[in-house]
Structure 1
Amino acid sequence: MQAILTSSPASLVLTRKHLLFRFESHEIPMPCFVFSRPARSPGATAPAKATTLIPCMAYINYGDVCIARRNSLKYICAPGRNRHAMSTPTASLYALRLAQITPDDTHDDPYIAALLIALAQSKRRFLGLVQPRPSPDSYCVYVLRTDPTDESYLTLYSADIPATMLRKLSDSNKPSRMPSNFSVFSKKISFKPYSSFQERLLQSIIPQTSKRQRTREDVDSRDSKRQRT
């Protein structure tokens, strides 16, 4: 996936292998691959020669998320023992805790929403270095997900994260009457035919300006939309 993205005409660069979800003074690391694009100066039609890279997309293999969840419960096991050697009561407790943190619908995993928010937080921070105020009202971000249980497609998640949401996370005590809810759009993109996969993927994540601008109305009827607050 890294080779497909970095070799594309979109000028994507792998810049980090984790994001930080920030809530007030807390920072929670979220493993993923972060891809960035060169920032555009206001009014410019091409990236500047010396420029800041702006995070815009994260990629995860969902199998890694499942492993991280299981590893987070290692405290239940006795020191030096793995979960396969647990007693029956301990194994039952482990299974109960794992079920509590595993979503019923893995395609509606809260981890995806948290990644989108963390990516928007990072994008906002880097855009603040290159763009004059006022800052944008929202930040468009993407998460790509592959699933080891079905390697025929990947899922693309997208969202416009309101700046009010990010400000609330920075200071939850500061009142705001502006709406902070957002919608998460998801779309399955088949790997086959392989010859056109890169082009089809880019058409979904990079605004098309040559022939027509991609809008929300272009989302396939099979795509899903979920509301977040």
Structure 2
Amino acid sequence: MEALSIYESARRVPRKRVLVEPVFWTRLHLDLLSCRFSHCNPPPPIMMDLPSTATECEEARRRNRFNRAFESFDIYKYPAREGVMNACLCRAPSPLSRRGCLWLHVGSRHKIELAGKCYFLNDHYPVVAHLDWHAIWHRRNDKLSSMLRRYNAPIVNLRKLRFKMITPTEKQYDPYLVAAIIAFGQLQWRVLSGQTGRTAGPADQSLADAVTSRIIFTNPDDEDFLYIYSANISASRVNTFILPATRPSAADFLDIQITPVPYEPFETLQQRLLALILSATRLEDVDQSEKSMMHPISMKAPPSPSESMHALAASRSQ
């Protein structure tokens, strides 16, 4: 596999639109990024030990809110689903907090806002993001709608056709998710490098081999499971976007692992998610440093949440 810059990749397919926003990404972009998906088994039911102070009435309200937000996955209820996930991930005594949106940097100065919410460990280290598919749907719809200055029936029909063409039939392999994973990896590298300005500089390979980018994806095609997408993002991968005219030092695959996590029992969803994301069953065992974002690139793929939990379960049984 030949290592090419983004601009070189675009020139290899001159009849295709490659340099477009993520809402217009297609299977072609996954191929150009050498992206591969793999599915993992559901993790064992290991939970983080969190003290509960909620009353029975509060638990009932949380359950009702969850049912209303996730019932039938109404297309206009995605903000409610984002609110439920925010409460689930950040409710005390969780060490996570929500901070801002996702931004995909292309070049040092150009950035694109993506759907999705970022969650930080102790307000310092980004460890996971959440993305609902209907938020992606609205981004695509809004982007195409903004191109219409006034009503024109043939143009509207062409817009509907284009919307259908760029909307994947298999939501779990939506190219937009890949853009979100890369964008979250860029954020982690920026935090690791201490970059706080509006511009994005190249990632320093001496700081780490890779960071582990994780996205929680809620999919309307599956009312029983949410999914955690995880991938190692190397400095070379980040610099491919920050320096789009420069060839990466070596070609590498973008391996994305997909781990299903059941919604039920909802009462333990927070404990199960935190144990998977933070790879710990007690708050005092959580790594509070930048190492919470890092993972050695020597492995072909990041350990899936399922593999991490199996290892954790084995260590606890000894």
Could you tell me the TM-score, scaled by structure 1's length? 0.75
Which of 158, 168, 185 does residue 103 from structure 1 map onto? 168
Distance 1:10 1:134, change over 3 A: farther
Preserved contact between residue 76 and residue 94 of structure 1 (Cα < 8 Å): no
> By how many angstroms is 1:145 displaced?
1.6
Distance 1:208 1:11, change over 3 A: same
Preserved contact between residue 275 and residue 281 of structure 2 (Cα < 8 Å): no
> By how many angstroms is 1:134 displaced?
2.6
Which of 103, 128, 137 does residue 193 from structure 2 map onto? 128
Which of 105, 113, 128 does residue 22 from structure 1 map onto? 105
- What residue is the counterpart of 2:96 in the other structure? 12
- What residue is the counterpart of 1:218 in the other structure? 307
**Consecutive unaligned residues in structure 2, runs of 5 or more:** 1-84, 196-203, 286-301, 310-318
> By how many angstroms is 1:176 displaced?
3.3
Q: What amino acid is the match of 1:58?
A: A
- What residue is the counterpart of 1:225 in the other structure? none
Preserved contact between residue 211 and residue 232 of structure 2 (Cα < 8 Å): yes
Q: What amino acid is the match of 2:160?
A: A
More helix by share: 2
> By how many angstroms is 1:129 displaced?
2.3
Q: What amino acid is the match of 1:160?
A: N
Percent sequence identity over aligned pairs: 23
Distance 1:119 1:105, change over 3 A: same
**Consecutive unaligned residues in structure 1, runs of 5 or more:** 39-51, 221-229
Could you tell me the TM-score, scaled by structure 2's length? 0.55
More strand by share: 1
Preserved contact between residue 10 and residue 206 of structure 1 (Cα < 8 Å): no
Whole-angstrom distance in 1 between the partners of 2:274 and 2:181: 18
Distance 1:187 1:2, change over 3 A: same
- Aligned-residue Cα RMSD (Å) equals 2.8
What does 1:1-229 correspond to in 2, within 5 Å?
A: 1-7=85-91, 10-16=94-100, 18-24=101-107, 25-38=109-122, 53-75=124-146, 77-79=148-150, 81=151, 87=153, 89-129=154-194, 134-208=206-280, 215-216=303-304, 218=307
Preserved contact between residue 133 and residue 218 of structure 2 (Cα < 8 Å): yes
Whole-angstrom distance in 2 between the partners of 1:117 and 1:9: 29
Q: What amino acid is the match of 2:161?
A: L
Which region of structure 1 is more displaced relative to structure 2, 153-162 or 90-99?
90-99
